A and B are shown apart, each in its own frame.
Chain A
Amino acid sequence: MSESTEPLKKTPLNQVEKELGGKMVDFGGWELPVQFSGILEEHEAVRTKVGVFDVSHMGELTVKGPQALELLQRATCNDVAKLADGRIHYNGLLYPNGGFVDDILIYQNDPNDFFVVVNASNTDKDFEWLQQAAEGLDVEVRNVSGDYAQLAIQGPEAERVLQAMTDVALADIKYYRFATGNVDGAPSIVSRTGYTGEDGFEVYVAPEHAPRIMKKFVDAGAKPCGLGARDTLRLEAKMALYGNDIDHSTTPIEADLGWIVKLEKGDFAGRDVIAREKEEGPRRKLVGFEMIDRGIARHGYPVVDGGEEIGVVTSGTHSPTLKKAIGLAYLPLDKSAQGSEFTVLIRGKETRARVIPTPFYKRAK
């Protein structure tokens, strides 16, 4: 992945992960475990019990000041004014052409103080982008990524395992809300969020406490999980992956993320393009599919029609829960209806797939 020759960056959990048998890989310049015991086993643990992920590579920014809200409103498509203290939402940081700078989570401490969680490989870009956008506004943007390790504890037993280690009343934290408190004695931000489609929490804590907390999670029965299971879990839940399903060339409308676009909130970067797409329909749309023929259509495989390339697969895998091949692809709007069949070239071979409803997996409440 990494094209530079710089040494890989390591999270505070690197040593613990190696001790736990993590198979380490280069993930966008970070040395992270792709798996421990195996992707299928880790996936299953999160769906049925509890697993723990190191997501310390994620970036964290703070946006503070009297015009913090104004900056975020201008730079993103979701309505930040609708947040309340202690609440979180999913949002898009957009270019003027409507493409994604990044997809982000915004945590509101108060209307003048936001905590923004961004994709690891986009951290510097997002920071610079927001700093530029902040010119002339009374707001300070800081990159505080080095101050935090991040652990995601996910699965139906996540609350029980985490509650035994924290003074935060987890039952009081609803989905996409957060609280601050201590986890194993260390000051932390605890949010009911995740990238798995399962119940669970994400814990932000100073790096020096993270190895101890990770070990305690594992001792309490959480299965250490790697990037492989993180990818199969998020894809079943149809959560977008920046760099695969969305990037600078895709808009939220194309990416089927219209629910994070709030045109009524006022002007923001990319609004004109998105308003037009909302009215006239986008050129193409991200859809979920299952394979009809055998094989797995993976990221980058072309969708063809009569020898012509009409779309592209952005993510694809074997779904451990559904036990079949699934994926996401951009298709022309008129070919994107539920049930439509299309052809993917899998290493040169024409292979049939069908558009199906998403998310592929939804947990029972």
Chain B
Amino acid sequence: MKILLIEDNRETADYIFHGLQEKGHVASVSQDGREGLFRAASESWDMLIVDRLLPSMDGLALVHTLRGGGVHTPVLFLTALGGIDDRVAGLNAGGDDYLVKPFAFAELIARVDALGRRPHQTAVETVLRVADLEMDLLARSVRRAGRTIELQPREFRLLEYLMRHAEQLVTRTMLLENVWDFHFDPRTNIVESHISRLRSKLNKSGIELIHTIRGSGYSIRAPA
């Protein structure tokens, strides 16, 4: 993917830039708000990573202006630690996701992959499939190898999120935010406990589909 990173802190920018390159993305850095806005609007990008606090123009205003000008490139906001209002403000301004600094690199890559995948999913899907696992979004039912699996609403949402991001890394934080709407770090193994419940229900009729990526998160994929 071709990604524009608008971040004024040189060290952070380098850290993200090299990380993105390692993962095979084509990244470019802009260290100033106005310049970033110009480049975001005048070139074609697959994604923008925008810091909230920028010299000459703040990240919120930048994205707001971009959206006003009809640019709908996915935007990932980077926000400072502890800013509880930043997320809502960022999403209201037209951001698609946000990440609190400091973050683990795996987290950033997972977000970038999830965001980059979005446009392909705009077509209305009613059935999600991973190997022999099938989720009917209209009937709200899950079947594996033809056998119906009863899931609680939360388990259904968890599996749905995983299946919508099949083959991708889904981090614990992404699950907390999107499945539970938790925007803080819980001190218990909520995700782990629910995943293990879900696994035991799914695995009654087949082999393991939800894989743990050590230290990063989970990924649902068909066995190789």
Partners in one complex: no
- The chain A residues found within 8 Å of chain B, CB to CB, are none
